[in-house]
Amino acid sequence: MKIVSVINYKGGVGKTTVTSNIAAQLAYTGYRVLLLDMDAQASLTFSLEKPEFWDENLRQDKTIKSWFDRISESEEVMPLHELVHTPSKANSRLPKGSNGCLDLISSHLGLINVDLELATLLGGANLKQSKVNYIKVHGKLKNALVELGERNNYDIVLVDCPPNFNIVTKNAIVASDQILIPAKPDYLSTLGIEYLQRSMNELIQEFNEFGSMDESFEKVNPEILGVVFTMIQIRNQQPIAAQRQFIAQTKRLKVPVFESNFRENKTIFADAPQECIPVVLNGYTNQTYSGIVEELEDLVTEFISRSGVINE
């Protein structure tokens, strides 16, 4: 099983759109997929279920906040499989008889406060104890996801991270095999990519250094899967010149860059969440829309090749 976190420090880059459509296409082609929404804005959650449904059925005790709350209160956490929900509308679009599935662990608007609560657990009577607590707090999610993956036989977990580097995000990165970075090809969206790399490297170095005190500790080493560009404006079968400039600039950072991308179309991508069905699962008769779906299918083919995710 692969665990891939989707993150960019800059909000508004289409992170949730990228996550939901890659997951949906993987599920459509037969992969067993779990989506974990770690963003307090809960955009991914509300792209797959209506807020009214979430409020009545998930809000109270079936979100990732419930799990983190148990940690911050020093209580025994529930197994993650108790939080898994299968969105009915999206799954109804998968081929009949397919082994594919699209499951979700939803977020909660109160997740924004969890970071402060977790921070209280990082102290210790001495330096050694502080390091032990650091590993416990930041490494909890990794073990839980591995256990869940084995139980539910998932091929891949996609984690939608918040646009910051808090303890929740660090849990996701430590748990991950790979990191996917969505970005608009503009100044602000690409500016943070190098900083994200540096922050990741510092986190992994620190986590592995602290963990080395335990002989049974296994080092973590998530790699950047690539940058996928979003909101691409096409002219003459290629991105406009202003966007090509930032794509080239990103490649000079020596990070992998996907050849496929998300074309800008505010109508199709804005409407899909209201219906709780990702764009890639909709059958469009409109030629422009169906062309966008074909491009998304190509992107997921590239994603499968780059990530090495195996359909078991």
Domains of the chain: which residue ranges?
Answer: 2-307
pLDDT for 267 equals 86
Residue 223 C-alpha from the chain's centroid: 14
What are the strands, taking DSSP E only, across the chain?
Answer: 2-6, 32-37, 101-105, 156-160, 178-183, 223-229, 234-235, 238-239
- Residue bearing the bigger pLDDT, 18 or 113: 18
Averaged over 157-177, what is the pLDDT? 95
In sequence order, the β-bridge partners of residue 102 are 33
Token match 């990741």: residue?
A: 200
pLDDT digits (tens, 9 = 90+) for 63-103: 999 999 999 888 889 999 999 999 999 999 999 988 999 99
Distance CA 133, CA 82 (A): 26
pLDDT digits (tens, 9 = 90+) for 22-39: 999 999 999 999 999 999
What are the strands, taking DSSP E only, across 115-168?
Answer: 156-160
In sequence order, the β-bridge partners of residue 61 are none
Residue 284 C-alpha from the chain's centroid: 26
Helices and strands (H and E) in the chain: how many? 12, 8
| Of residues 249, 245, 241, the one with CA closest to residue 193 | 249
What six digits make up the tokens of 157?
């977990």
Distance CA 10, CA 47 (A): 20
pLDDT for 125 equals 64
pLDDT digits (tens, 9 = 90+) for 180-215: 999 999 888 888 888 899 999 999 999 999 988 887
- Give percent of the chain with pLDDT exceeding 90: 69
Distance CA 28, CA 22 (A): 10
pLDDT at 174 over 90: yes
Distance CA 111, CA 107 (A): 7
- CA distances in angstroms from 5 to 59, 131, 158, listed in the order given: 23, 24, 6
pLDDT digits (tens, 9 = 90+) for 211-245: 888 877 889 999 999 999 999 998 888 899 999 99
Distance CA 310, CA 1 (A): 8
Distance CA 157, CA 255 (A): 22
Token match 């799990």: residue?
A: 67
Give 83's contacts (C-beta < 8 A, 6+ positions apart). Answer: 62, 63, 64, 66, 67, 105, 106
Distance CA 307, CA 303 (A): 6
Amino acid, res. 73: E
Amino acid, res. 262: F
- Give percent of the chain with pLDDT exceeding 70: 99
Token match 């509308």: residue?
A: 89
The architecture of the domain spanning 2-307 is: 3-Layer(aba) Sandwich (3.40)
pLDDT digits (tens, 9 = 90+) for 106-159: 999 999 888 888 888 887 667 788 888 889 889 999 999 999 999 999 999 999
pLDDT for 285 equals 85
For helices 241-251 and 187-211, give the axis angle rounded to 10 degrees: 20
The one-character DSSP state at 76 is P
